[in-house]
Amino acid sequence: MSAPIRYYYDLMSQPSRALLIIFRLSNMPFEDCVVALRNGEHLTDDYKREINRFQRVPCIHDNGYKLAESVAILRYLSAKGKIPEHLYPKYFVDQSRIDEFLEWQHMTLRLTCAMYFRTVWLEPLLTGKTPTEAKIEVMRMHMERNLDVVEEVWLEGKDFLTGNSLTVADIFAACEIEQTRMADYDVRIKYPKIRAWLKRVRQSCNPHYDVAHEFVYKISGTGPQAKL
Amino acid sequence: MSAPIRYYYDLMSQPSRALLIIFRLSNMPFEDCVVALRNGEHLTDDYKREINRFQRVPCIHDNGYKLAESVAILRYLSAKGKIPEHLYPKYFVDQSRIDEFLEWQHMTLRLTCAMYFRTVWLEPLLTGKTPTEAKIEVMRMHMERNLDVVEEVWLEGKDFLTGNSLTVADIFAACEIEQTRMADYDVRIKYPKIRAWLKRVRQSCNPHYDVAHEFVYKISGTGPQAKL
């Protein structure tokens, strides 16, 4: 019997949370390898040589095979039969609709939510400087342009992003959007469909969703109930 | 017999060029549907309704099935047996190494090369305003941080990004890097491994590489020989 995969992650990282939720929903055994980004544990030469040559999280080691990039990891584990088909289908046409979202998100939803979080929460913490209102406004505008697409295109006429049941697409998307809570952004105000969908995603994923978002809830000072 | 897929693209778009090269190398028949981004052909309501709900290129229609996002399209066509295994392997472990690059590139190489191109070439064209030297410098720094990773990590000890032969990873990457030519950036100066690798990619893909880059060469005012 082969050893369980080693999963390197930090719950402050959006795709780390997404994979954690997916692994737990899939009942996939894994070895928990937490990497404290806040302590720069990913920046050492050892980490680069032994764990992940890109010095990021998440990544996995599967009996010596090292793989980075959350979507690549998901696809690899799906091919190994570790991810149930209702979360990531094997039939190529159904899979392509989910891949379309997973590829779409990087430079749109993920980038702009991450930039908003970075500008409003992370950079002030690291530099002690407050961003200007004008800069926050630009970041908010970029982010909302993509939240508009989630609300109006992806959630048009269906309960989840790619159909009427939860898939990995919803989990990746929700983890990106939840990140903005820590920057005090409340997505529920302008986006009723996103609000209702986030509730469905959380319910479909719990208790794992709340476990993955423990630090997000804590830092944002709001329990899941307060927000969703 | 089913109709060939309809391929919607513009050669000014990096992933459009990558897919064009991949389709031609794969001897895959397709119907050429050029979308002139410069004329805003993707911004009409008709385009949104009939062609691509995200109003972008590239995308395909396969007997009525509409799919966007270059990497999702590649995987879909690979699953249909349209892409040879030497370009995108079917064995999941080999595939995961290429997926790792395809997922890595979005927020790193692709984003920063595109932002450099946008800042130096596109925005001045659209707004008539010249960017400050300081802004160009920041964009260049972000881009070179990722070109460093291509030079030092991806091209470490091998001829191509994921091994010793050309795959779709190289084609996607080369098309992103070529975009910066139009903004007068010459990647050859600081990056000897990238220079030699680009030459190999072009040779492995020609004549299709030069066909796809016709406008890039024209706009940058340099023939392929002058540059590579």
% residues pLDDT > 70 (chain B): 96
Report yes or no on B172 lying in a domain: yes
Report yes or no on B133 lying in a domain: yes
Report yes or no on B87 lying in a domain: no
Q: Is A227's pLDDT higher than 80?
A: no
Report yes or no on A60 lying in a domain: yes
- Which of B63, B67, B106 is the best substitution to test chain A (most A C-beta atoms within 10 A)? B106
Q: Are residues B73 and B96 in the same domain?
A: no
Q: Do B69 and A100 touch (CB under 8 A)?
A: yes
Q: Is B41 exposed, middle or buried (CB count within 10 Å of its CB: 0-12, 13-18, 19+)?
A: middle
What are the C-alpha distances in Å from B73 to residues A73, A114, B37?
19, 26, 20
Of B79, B105, B137, the residue at which a domain comes to its end is: B79
pLDDT tens, residue by residue, A162-178 = 999 999 999 999 999 99
Residue A45 belongs to what domain range?
5-79
pLDDT of B227 reads: 47
CA distance linking residue B203 with residue B123, whole number of Å: 32
Output the average pLDDT for chain A. 95
CA distance linking residue A155 with residue A146, whole number of Å: 12
pLDDT tens, residue by residue, B96-141 = 999 999 999 999 999 999 999 999 999 999 999 999 999 999 999 9
Q: Are residues A37 and A132 in the same domain?
A: no
Q: Which helix (H) or strand (E) holds A66?
A: strand A65-68
Q: Are residues B13 and B105 in the same domain?
A: no
Residue type, B89: P
Report yes or no on B86 lying in a domain: no
- State how far Cα A90 lies from the chain centre: 22
**Domains contained in chain B, number:** 2
Instruction: Dig out the tokens for A81 from the structure.
Output: 């039969």
Q: Which residues of A147-165 are buried (b: 16+ CB within 10 A; e: fewer)?
A: bebbbeebbeeebbbbeee
Determine contact, residues B83/B28, Cβ cutoff 8 Å.
Answer: yes
% residues pLDDT > 90 (chain A): 95
pLDDT tens, residue by residue, B36-72 = 999 999 999 999 999 999 999 999 999 999 999 999 9
| Facing residue for A69 by CB, picked from B100, B149, B153 | B100
For residue A28, the 8-state DSSP code is -
Q: Is B224's pLDDT higher than 70?
A: no
β-pairing, B5-9 vs B30-34, is parallel
Tell me the shortest Cα–Cα distance from B104 to chain A, in angstroms.
6
Q: Are residues A58 and A163 in the same domain?
A: no
Q: Are residues B72 and B100 in the same domain?
A: no
Per-residue pLDDT band for B228 (boundaries 50, 70, 90) equals very low
Q: What is the CATH number of the domain that holds B49?
A: 3.40.30.10
Report yes or no on A85 lying in a domain: no
pLDDT of B2 reads: 74
Q: Is A186's pLDDT higher than 90?
A: yes
- Worst-scoring range by mean pLDDT, A81-85, A178-182, B92-96, B224-228? B224-228
Q: Are residues B75 and B96 in the same domain?
A: no
Q: What is the CATH number of the domain that holds A202?
A: 1.20.1050.10
- Which of A54, A106, A108 is the best substitution to test chain B (most B C-beta atoms within 10 A)? A106
Of A79, A100, A116, the residue at which a domain comes to its end is: A79
What number is the average pLDDT over the span B9-25? Answer: 98
Q: Are residues A163 and A214 in the same domain?
A: yes
Q: Are residues A112 and A156 in the same domain?
A: yes
Q: What are phi and psi of B186, to 5 degrees?
A: -110, 100
pLDDT tens, residue by residue, A27-51 = 999 999 999 999 999 999 999 999 9
Q: Is A225's pLDDT higher than 60?
A: no
Q: Is A23's pLDDT higher than 80?
A: yes
Report yes or no on A87 lying in a domain: no
Q: Do B99 and A54 touch (CB under 8 A)?
A: no
Q: Are residues A153 and A197 in the same domain?
A: yes
Q: Are residues B14 and B41 in the same domain?
A: yes
How many A/B residue pairs have CB atoms within 8 Å?
80
β-pairing, B5-9 vs A59-62, is unpaired
Q: Are residues B125 and B217 in the same domain?
A: yes
Per-residue pLDDT band for A223 (boundaries 50, 70, 90) equals low
Tell me the shortest Cα–Cα distance from A164 to chain B, in angstroms.
19
Of B79, B102, B118, the residue at which a domain comes to its end is: B79
Task: Look up the ipTM and state it.
Answer: 0.96
Which chain A residue has its CA at the smallest distance from B71's CA?
A103
| Facing residue for A69 by CB, picked from B73, B104, B111 | B104
Contacts of A107 in chain B (CB under 8 A): 106-107, 110-111
What are the C-alpha distances in Å from A143 to residues A186, A222, B12, B54, B194?
12, 22, 25, 16, 34
CA distance linking residue A103 with residue A122, whole number of Å: 25
Q: What are phi and psi of B62, to 5 degrees?
A: -120, 100
Residue of A35 and A226 predicted with greater confidence: A35
Q: What are phi and psi of B68, to 5 degrees?
A: -110, 180
What number is the average pLDDT over the span A43-68? Answer: 97
What number is the average pLDDT over the span B10-26? Answer: 98
pLDDT of A140 reads: 98
Q: Are residues A96 and A165 in the same domain?
A: yes
Q: Is B225's pLDDT higher than 60?
A: no
pLDDT of A228 reads: 47
Report yes or no on B21 lying in a domain: yes
- Which residue has 């991806």 as its token pair? B154
